[in-house]
Structure 1
Amino acid sequence: MKNNPLISIIIPTLNSEKTLEQCLKSIKNQSYQNYEIIIVDGGSEDKTIGIAEKFNAKVINANIKNMSKQTNIGISNSDGLYIYRVDSDVILNPKILEKSIEKCENEGYDGVCINWIPDESISFWAKVRKIEKESYVKHLNYVGAIKYDKNVAGATFLRRDVIDSVGGFEENVPTFGEDFALFNKLAKSKFHFAVIDVYELHIGEPKTLMEVVRKNFRYGRAAKTFLKDQGTKKGAKQYSPAGRIHLTDAFKNAFKNDKRLFLGLAIYIFALYASASIGFIYSVIRRSQN
């Protein structure tokens, strides 16, 4: 790699004090050091801004609770040749920036799909989600990004000109599927994406089953916007159990390792899709009444 291009790391935040410091520490510890951090805050009422400033991040007080708009604001205020959109509740593997840059600069890829793995120390349900996610990542690495990701995965590390060519993140999809919406546009343009073998560690894991239900109920309420924007057939394929072929392996691994995890996975998948479906139906009924 002849040059060390600047990476702009964009982090949308909203009351993120519980996880943001760990996230920023993991960025500070990257093996590749030519980056800038841009925090675009949606109106936090906790210590989020103070934590960001402690790490010398550029802070933009957007006061907009829309992750896609926040990300686009960050991109428009950044200087990097590459854009890496990061959630505030993940810890980055120290090699993520280095490996992503190598894929793009040395191998000619337009972007990188960076997967996350649940922090299983958080709760039993995090352990369950880790089994499901590991099976997904195994399939993704085996099949390859473009072939499999057209239905499932999103790309978060991209060349700036690639993002600019499709108009940035889809602002009509604010909180549910915004990464998929962007990737769907990119896939149509025949860009090429790589998958790397290092991950983000998701520390914002649910501690109880009720947290899983509440979160996916909210996602279900937002899904109507995603399906309308992306097309019902495409959106349903990306989020339905039928579109997630890795689940068979997940159940096999859970059964082999721990019968409690097998039962937990069954309960989790049911709770996930049941609560999301109820949320979706609720949103349809509410809109029909307005």
Structure 2
Amino acid sequence: MSTPPTLDEYKSIEGSPNYIKRDSLNNASTDINNPLVSIITISFNSERTILKTISSVTKQTYKNIQYIIIDGGSSDKTIEIIKNYQKNISIILTEKDKGISDAFNKGLYLSKGKLIGIINSDDWYESDAVEHVVNHWIEFGDGIFHGKLQYWKNENIPYYIFSGRDDKLLNGMTINHPTTFVSKIIYEKIGLFNLNLKRAMDYDFLLRAKLNGEKFYYIDKVISNMLLGGVSDSNWLNTYFEVFKIRNFNGLSKIKNYLILTSSVLKTIVRIILESIGLQTPVSFFRRNFSMVPKSDPRRRI
């Protein structure tokens, strides 16, 4: 693994012919009670889902938002949909990238907010998500803010609500990245997303932040929603191996790392088998009572 890039390494993107900026939407307020919040959405051939994502950002109860969309050169109607709503979008960049990390990093360079959130083009925020995050930032200051994530089997059937806990980050991804908002100063200190990682770049960043002593703040509320079936869900074994590599690179115990990897793989295999034969009840019981990250029934939603 190489070291992650810095913000300065992305200066050239402002000269891209596919860069659209609407200055009137960027209110870099100096009022501590009304900070500018940047939100980044990356997309690629997301015509079926991106409208819901865009709407969830533009309809936030908190209004001082710089909204940035980075599209990797979609060949479907994604770009057309984005441009139909460009009056509500601060920056649009449409060009090929080197992967998810590169797209994230382009958005981070263009972000002017005190706080930065990243929501992918098939996820969506609760309408008051940013308001809750800003209130915590006003109370606690700079840090990494994260909350509950509602998973959905499809658009009509809720799955589980995943909580988050940063104290278990050394063991695995125990924070819901779609719910995180990070003070920009932290990216300036520890670098951006690692370009060598294809699936677990969010875990790598959060682990580096934890090891660097950055402060984490948990918001006990559903912040974001996610449909099952993302890159990490569908390639879970490769994701586990990438997480294993990240922990090794950051100097964690190799013996403990092997034990965590083995345990994670076995538990996932057992879960898949049980769910495939219709035994959801024991899976649900384990998730509620023994999972590293607390999970609750969607009926207990807060």
Query: Scaled by the length of structure 1, what TM-score is found?
Result: 0.69
1:287 matched residue in structure 2: none
Q: Distance in 2 between matches of 1:238 and 1:122?
A: 36
Higher strand share: 2
1:162 corresponds to which of 156, 179, 186:
186
1:179 matched residue in structure 2: 202
1:185-264 counterparts in 2 under 5 A? 185-196=208-219, 197-203=221-227, 205-206=228-229, 214-216=234-236, 219=239, 226=246, 229-230=249-250, 236=257, 240=261, 242=263, 260-262=279-281
Q: Is the CA contact (8 Å cut-off) linking 2:56 and 2:127 kept in structure 1?
A: yes
1:9 matched residue in structure 2: 39
Q: Distance in 2 between matches of 1:176 and 1:159?
A: 23
3-state SS of paired residue (1:198) = strand
1:22 corresponds to which of 44, 48, 52:
52
The number of residue pairs the alignment matches comes to 239
1:113 matched residue in structure 2: 146
1:122-137 counterparts in 2 under 5 A? 122=155, 130-131=159-160, 134=161, 136-137=162-163
1:153 corresponds to which of 174, 184, 194:
174
Q: Distance in 2 between matches of 1:62 and 1:228?
A: 33
Match for 1:216: what amino acid?
A: W
1:83-102 counterparts in 2 under 5 A? 83-102=116-135
Spell out, residue by residue over 1:24-65, the C-alpha distance to the aligned partner (whole angstroms, 9 max, x if none): 111112111111111111221111112222222221123014
Quote how far apart the aligned CAs of 1:219 are.
4.0
Match for 1:107: what amino acid?
A: F
Spell out, residue by residue over 1:103-130, the C-alpha distance to the aligned partner (whole angstroms, 9 max, x if none): 112123512124422124458xx76xx3
- List gaps (5 residues or longer) in structure 2: 1-30, 286-302
Q: Is the CA contact (8 Å cut-off) linking 1:10 and 1:37 kept in structure 2?
A: yes
3-state SS of paired residue (1:202) = strand
Quote how far apart the aligned CAs of 1:99 are.
0.9
Q: Is the CA contact (8 Å cut-off) linking 1:95 and 1:198 kept in structure 2?
A: no
Q: Is the CA contact (8 Å cut-off) linking 2:73 and 2:95 kept in structure 1?
A: yes
Spell out, residue by residue over 1:137-168, the C-alpha distance to the aligned partner (whole angstroms, 9 max, x if none): 2xx3xxxx431334333453111111110111
Q: Is the CA contact (8 Å cut-off) linking 1:32 and 1:95 kept in structure 2?
A: yes
Spell out, residue by residue over 1:233-273, the C-alpha distance to the aligned partner (whole angstroms, 9 max, x if none): 589579747469xx8xxx9xx99xxx74237779xxxxxxx
Q: Distance in 1 between matches of 2:232 and 2:207?
A: 26
Q: Distance in 1 between matches of 2:128 and 2:262?
A: 32
Spell out, residue by residue over 1:206-242, the C-alpha distance to the aligned partner (whole angstroms, 9 max, x if none): 49xxx99854366468668656655685895797474
1:275 matched residue in structure 2: none
The CA RMSD over aligned residues, in Å, is: 3.7
Match for 1:105: what amino acid?
A: I
Q: Is the CA contact (8 Å cut-off) linking 1:40 and 1:61 kept in structure 2?
A: yes
Relative distance call for 1:198 and 1:260 in structure 2 (3 A) is: same
Q: Percent of counterpart pairs with the same letter?
A: 21
Q: Distance in 2 between matches of 1:39 and 1:51?
A: 12
- List gaps (5 residues or longer) in structure 1: 267-290
Match for 2:223: what amino acid?
A: Y
Quote how far apart the aligned CAs of 1:11 are.
1.2
Quote how far apart the aligned CAs of 1:16 are.
1.1
Higher helix share: 1
